[in-house]
């Protein structure tokens, strides 16, 4: 049989996830953004291995040079290549973006699903927790946490040793403060889902709460989780830039926020390249994640199916 | 009719109230009286049609019977077991025998589950079948409801409304139940599909000896389907009779109004539609006396022949009306017709 466009007679069926993947593959803008994200991820993983020890890379013969063939993005006040700094900054940003989501998403989904499903006291507690958290301005809470984390090492000596004074502190603080949005969405969606007839049908057939959660609620929440991952990534990159700008971010590693901080006085004297490079690197990844997240939501939303 | 055999399902004095969230200042607790004292029984292999407008409590009644909603009062007896007093374990095994089919085929199937998993869910809970055996059984069930077993690996969004409803029926049949609550199973489907689904349901009943509680807002649908029909208004049954008796001799003014609303496929037929003024009153604050009195045409016509002392004036649906005073004072009870003891109605004036 010829593979023309789909008809109702196609005997092979695709699952919802495969269907969403196919929609994304056909979407040029989404694929372009996905490519950008993959390139950034590759740079983030590769650059620390390629450029190795950064602290000794001073070169006082090439300070504050404008872009040239040798230094495509110029050099900074210590004669270091801005391009290498941007690459190493990607490592920090992508790690923070990923790790803070790894903490925030499960927290938001767990609390939101529990509160939405069981209601009453559990829900009261969840709502109290996130409204309290949301009532404190995010960036101030983040700064306070980061101060509290100074010199803190979790589980010292064990495999899970976590030095909260450095980058780990940034993503733990971000993870602990950025789950509220996911939690709200998940809670509302759970409250909607648990009233739907298919949940009632599962109850009518004798399924318990756990089975209903696992088989009927959580699979229907996954699209929210995935979309929030892409949105949370953007937020985390932005927050890392701000923290680093305030000297509360990572130490001993270049980051886009630190570059912007160091370069802010340079603009007056006409040295535009460091600020532009860091801001541009941030801009492109944020744009790519935003567009990709948007297309992802369209692809995963069951309501937009079959249109 | 065999009087000796006890019915499969008996519902007595069933009440389901939902609390209305009060003001912070603590106003008197109020309740939505969704189901307010309902009695009926369904024999093995029989169908009871439960009819009423939206908001009459028919869906809540069906779900309360299955203990999907907690009852406020009353008892449900299924095969000599008191459903409301069973512990979790006993209830779970009883659930195998009682199933439900929903109105909205869209929301009754989990969009993230394949048809095979949807239909197999009752088998996972209630049967000791292996994965392979379950798959075979799902195939049989799909064929039984008129779908191809090949559809097993598909997802709900790939089906039409009628096909989804068939999948819902296959799921309800999976655990080999004795009793199914059909909660407006055809209301969301278009007319040509309605007939197919109704025929399927009655074939299944004949084959498997199923008992149905068939909930609908359309008396015409129920007529083809039921052995007995109960009409609900504002949480109460206002008339209950064998199908033929109810359609031939509708007694309660509300039943008469509902029956007159069935369209007749004959343009020349004289239309004698009974108009109901206003809307269904709020079940939080039902009218005193007979809950139907603000909309009742019969009490108006009787009031016109009575002395002024025996009538009161009310405003219903924005229009003033004179009705019989007794209708606002006494709460009517179901009572049989003098010449047909199986035909019950709850009209004060007609009971005399």
Is the separation of the CB atoms in B314 and B320 below 8 Å?
A: yes
CATH number of the structural domain spanning residue A198 = 1.10.3720.10
Cβ separation A200–B122 shorter than 8 A: no
B171 touches chain A (CB under 8 A): yes
CA distances from B36 to B96, B227, B245, B291, B309 (A): 28, 24, 25, 11, 31
Interface test with A, best of B18, B111, B168 (most A CBs within 10 A): B111
Tokens 């924005």 found at: B318
Find the mean pLDDT for residues B264-278.
Answer: 71
Model pLDDT for residues B151-186, shown as the tens digit of each residue: 888 888 888 889 999 999 999 999 999 999 999 988
B284 touches chain A (CB under 8 A): no
Cβ separation A219–B112 shorter than 8 A: yes
Is the separation of the CB atoms in A208 and A135 below 8 Å?
A: no
Q: Please provide the DSSP assignment of B245-307 as one string.
A: HHHHS--SHHHHHHHHTSPPS-TTSPP-PPP--S-PPPTTSPPSSSTTGGG-HHHHHHHHTS-
Is the separation of the CB atoms in A243 and A170 below 8 Å?
A: yes
The domain containing residue A69 runs over which residues?
Answer: 40-304
Cα distance between residue A74 and residue A265, in whole Å = 16
Coil, strand or helix at B146: coil
Nearest to B153 among A13, A220, A305 (CB): A13
Cα distance between residue A305 and residue A243, in whole Å = 41
Q: How far is B266 from chain A (nearest CA, A)?
A: 38
Q: How far is A198 from chain B (nearest CA, A)?
A: 4
Q: Look at residue A254 and tell me if it is in a domain.
A: yes
Write out chain A residues lying below 8 Å of B109, CB-based: 198
Write out chain A residues lying below 8 Å of B157, CB-based: 16, 302, 305-306
Cβ separation B111–A203 shorter than 8 A: no
Nearest to B107 among A197, A215, A219 (CB): A197
CA distances from B31 to A23, A287, B25, B286, B331 (A): 49, 52, 17, 11, 18
Please report, rounded to a whole number, the percentage of residues in chain A having pLDDT higher than 70.
91
Is the separation of the CB atoms in B311 and B322 below 8 Å?
A: yes
pLDDT at A305 over 70: no
Q: Look at residue A1 and tell me if it is in a domain.
A: no
Q: Look at residue A91 and tell me if it is in a domain.
A: yes
Model pLDDT for residues A85-138, shown as the tens digit of each residue: 888 888 888 888 888 999 999 999 999 999 999 988 999 999 999 999 888 888
The per-residue pLDDT for A130 is: 92
Model pLDDT for residues B303-335, shown as the tens digit of each residue: 888 877 778 888 777 778 888 888 888 888 888
Coil, strand or helix at B167: helix
Cβ separation B98–A204 shorter than 8 A: yes
Q: Please provide the DSSP assignment of A176-237 as one string.
A: HHS-HHHHHHHHHHHHHHTTSHHHHHHHHTT--HHHHIIIIIGGGTHHHHHHHHHHHHHHHH
Greater pLDDT, A70 or A194: A194
pLDDT at B245 over 60: yes
Model-level pTM? Answer: 0.80
Nearest to A204 among B68, B110, B157 (CB): B68
Q: Residue B219: which of B352, B58, B28 has the closest Cα?
A: B58
Out of A230-239, A245-254, A286-295, B181-190, pick the least confident. Answer: A245-254
Cβ separation B109–A15 shorter than 8 A: no
- Per the DSSP assignment, residues forming a β-bridge with B10 are B41, B77
Find the mean pLDDT for residues B59-80.
Answer: 91
Confidence of residue B26 (pLDDT cuts 50, 70, 90): low
pLDDT at A35 over 90: yes
The per-residue pLDDT for A59 is: 73
Write out chain B residues lying below 8 Å of A197, CB-based: 102-104, 107-108
Is the separation of the CB atoms in B20 and B284 below 8 Å?
A: yes
Cβ separation B126–A206 shorter than 8 A: yes
The per-residue pLDDT for A190 is: 93
The per-residue pLDDT for B1 is: 45
Cα distance between residue B124 and residue B137, in whole Å = 12
Q: Look at residue A93 and tell me if it is in a domain.
A: yes
Is the separation of the CB atoms in A302 and A220 below 8 Å?
A: no
Greater pLDDT, B315 or B57: B57
Homologous superfamily of domain range B9-19+32-248 = P-loop containing nucleotide triphosphate hydrolases (3.40.50.300)
Tokens 């940003």 found at: A93
Greater pLDDT, B308 or A40: A40
Find the mean pLDDT for residues A50-74.
Answer: 74
Q: In total, how many domains does chain A have?
A: 1
Enter the DSSP assignment of B185. T
Cα distance between residue A153 and residue B263, in whole Å = 78
**What is the predicted ipTM?**
0.85
- Residue B327's contacts (CB-CB under 8 Å, 6 or more residues apart) are B289, B290, B293, B296, B299, B348, B349
Residue range(s) of every CATH 3.40.50.300 domain in chain B: 9-19+32-248
Q: In what order do the strands lie in the sheet with B335-337?
A: B98-101, B179-183, B211-216, B47-51, B228-233, B236-242, B340-345, B335-337
Q: Look at residue A255 and tell me if it is in a domain.
A: yes
Enter the DSSP assignment of A268. G
pLDDT at A5 over 60: no
Write out chain A residues lying below 8 Å of B112, CB-based: 16, 219-220, 222
The per-residue pLDDT for A170 is: 84
Greater pLDDT, A302 or A150: A150
Cβ separation A198–B109 shorter than 8 A: yes
The per-residue pLDDT for B270 is: 64
Cα distance between residue B65 and residue B38, in whole Å = 11
Q: Of A58-62, A70-74, B135-139, which has the strongest mean pLDDT?
A: B135-139
The per-residue pLDDT for A304 is: 59
Confidence of residue B338 (pLDDT cuts 50, 70, 90): confident
Confidence of residue A3 (pLDDT cuts 50, 70, 90): very low
- Residue B118's contacts (CB-CB under 8 Å, 6 or more residues apart) are A198, B109, B110, B156, B167, B171
Which pairs count as long-range contacts for A114-122, CB under 8 Å and 24+ apart, including other chains?
A115/A183, A115/A187, A115/A190, A116/A186, A116/A187, A116/A188, A116/A189, A116/A190, A116/A191, A116/A194, A117/A190, A117/A194, A117/A209, A117/A213, A117/A217, A118/A209, A119/A191
The H or E element spanning position B241 is: strand B236-242
pLDDT at A271 over 60: yes
Confidence of residue A191 (pLDDT cuts 50, 70, 90): very high
A positions 14-53 inside 8 Å of B (CB): 15-16
CA distances from A262 to A91, A248, A265, B88 (A): 19, 14, 7, 66
Greater pLDDT, A188 or A138: A188
Is the separation of the CB atoms in A74 and A67 below 8 Å?
A: yes
Cα distance between residue B12 and residue B257, in whole Å = 27
The per-residue pLDDT for A91 is: 87
A135 touches chain B (CB under 8 A): no
Give the Cα-Cα-Cα angle A150, A153, A158 (nearest 5 degrees).
Answer: 170
Nearest to A201 among B93, B96, B171 (CB): B171
Is the separation of the CB atoms in B181 and B58 below 8 Å?
A: no
Cα distance between residue B106 and residue A201, in whole Å = 13
Q: Of A54-58, B135-139, B261-265, B294-298, which has the strongest mean pLDDT?
A: B135-139
For chain B, where are the alpha helices, taking DSSP H only?
Answer: 58-65, 88-95, 115-126, 131-144, 161-174, 191-208, 219-223, 243-248, 253-260, 297-304, 326-329, 348-351
Count of residues in chain A: 307
Q: Residue A257: which of A96, A93, A138, A64 has the closest Cα?
A: A93
A positions 198-237 inside 8 Å of B (CB): 198, 200-207, 215-216, 219-220, 222
pLDDT at A306 over 60: no
Instruction: Calculate the average pLDDT of chain B.
Output: 86
């Amino acid at each position: 049989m010829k593979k023309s466009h789909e008809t109702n007679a196609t005997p092979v069926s695709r699952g919802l996830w495969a269907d969403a993947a196919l929609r994304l593959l056909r979407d040029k803008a989404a694929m372009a953004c996905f490519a950008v994200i993959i390139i950034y991820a590759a740079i983030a993983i590769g650059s620390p291995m390629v450029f190795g020890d950064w602290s000794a890379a001073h070169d006082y013969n090439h300070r504050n040079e404008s872009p040239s063939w040798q230094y495509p993005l110029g050099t900074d006040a210590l004669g270091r290549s801005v391009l290498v700094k941007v690459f190493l900054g990607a490592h920090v940003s992508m790690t923070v973006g990923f790790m803070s989501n790894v903490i925030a998403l499960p927290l938001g989904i767990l609390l939101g699903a529990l509160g939405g499903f069981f209601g009453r006291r559990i829900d009261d507690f969840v709502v109290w927790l996130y409204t309290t958290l949301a009532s404190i301005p995010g960036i101030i809470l983040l700064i306070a946490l980061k101060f509290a984390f100074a010199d803190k090492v979790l589980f010292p000596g064990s495999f899970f040793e976590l030095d909260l004074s450095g980058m780990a502190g940034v993503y733990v603080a971000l993870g602990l403060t950025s789950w509220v949005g996911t939690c709200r969405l998940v809670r509302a969606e759970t409250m909607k889902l648990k009233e739907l007839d298919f949940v009632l049908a599962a109850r009518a057939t004798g399924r318990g709460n756990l089975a209903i959660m696992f088989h009927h609620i959580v699979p229907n929440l996954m699209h929210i989780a995935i979309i929030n991952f892409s949105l949370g990534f953007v937020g985390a990159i932005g927050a890392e830039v701000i923290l680093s700008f305030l000297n509360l971010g990572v130490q001993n590693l270049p980051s886009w926020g630190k570059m912007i901080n160091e370069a802010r006085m340079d603009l007056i004297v006409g040295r535009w390249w460091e600020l532009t490079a860091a801001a541009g690197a941030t801009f492109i990844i944020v744009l790519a994640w935003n567009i990709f997240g948007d297309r992802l939501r369209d692809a995963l939303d069951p309501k937009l199916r079959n249109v | 009719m065999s009087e000796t055999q006890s019915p499969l399902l008996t519902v007595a004095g069933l009440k389901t109230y939902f609390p209305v969230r009060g003001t912070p200042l603590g106003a008197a607790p109020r309740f939505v009286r969704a189901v307010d004292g309902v009695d009926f029984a369904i024999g093995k292999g029989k169908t009871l049609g439960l009819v009423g407008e939206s908001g009459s409590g028919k869906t809540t009644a069906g779900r309360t019977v299955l203990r999907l909603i907690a009852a406020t009062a009353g008892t449900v007896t299924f095969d000599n077991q008191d459903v409301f007093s069973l512990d979790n374990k006993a209830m779970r095994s009883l659930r195998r025998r009682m199933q439900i089919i929903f109105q909205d085929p869209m929301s009754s199937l989990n969009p993230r589950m394949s048809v095979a998993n949807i239909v197999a869910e009752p088998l996972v809970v209630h049967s000791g079948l292996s994965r392979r055996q379950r798959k075979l059984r799902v195939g049989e069930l799909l064929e039984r409801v008129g779908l191809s077993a090949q559809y097993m690996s598909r997802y709900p969004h790939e089906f039409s409304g009628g096909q989804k409803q068939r999948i819902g029926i296959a799921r309800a049949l999976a655990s080999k139940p004795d009793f199914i609550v059909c909660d407006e199973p055809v209301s969301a489907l278009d007319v040509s599909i309605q007939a197919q689904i109704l025929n399927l349901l009655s074939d299944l009943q004949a084959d498997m000896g199923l008992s149905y509680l068939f909930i609908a807002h359309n008396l015409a649908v129920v007529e083809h389907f039921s052995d007995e029909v109960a009409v609900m208004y504002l949480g109460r049954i206002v008339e209950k009779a064998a199908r033929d008796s109810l359609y031939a001799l509708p007694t309660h003014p509300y039943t008469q109004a509902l029956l007159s609303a069935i369209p007749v496929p004959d343009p020349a037929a004289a239309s004698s539609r009974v108009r109901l003024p206003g809307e269904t009153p709020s079940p939080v604050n039902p009218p005193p006396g007979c809950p139907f009195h603000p909309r009742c045409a019969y009490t108006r016509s009787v009031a016109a022949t009575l002395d002024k002392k025996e009538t009161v004036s009310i405003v219903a649906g924005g229009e003033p009306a004179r009705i019989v005073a007794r209708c606002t004072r006494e709460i009517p009870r179901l009572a049989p017709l003098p010449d047909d003891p199986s035909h019950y109605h709850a009209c004060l004036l007609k009971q005399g």
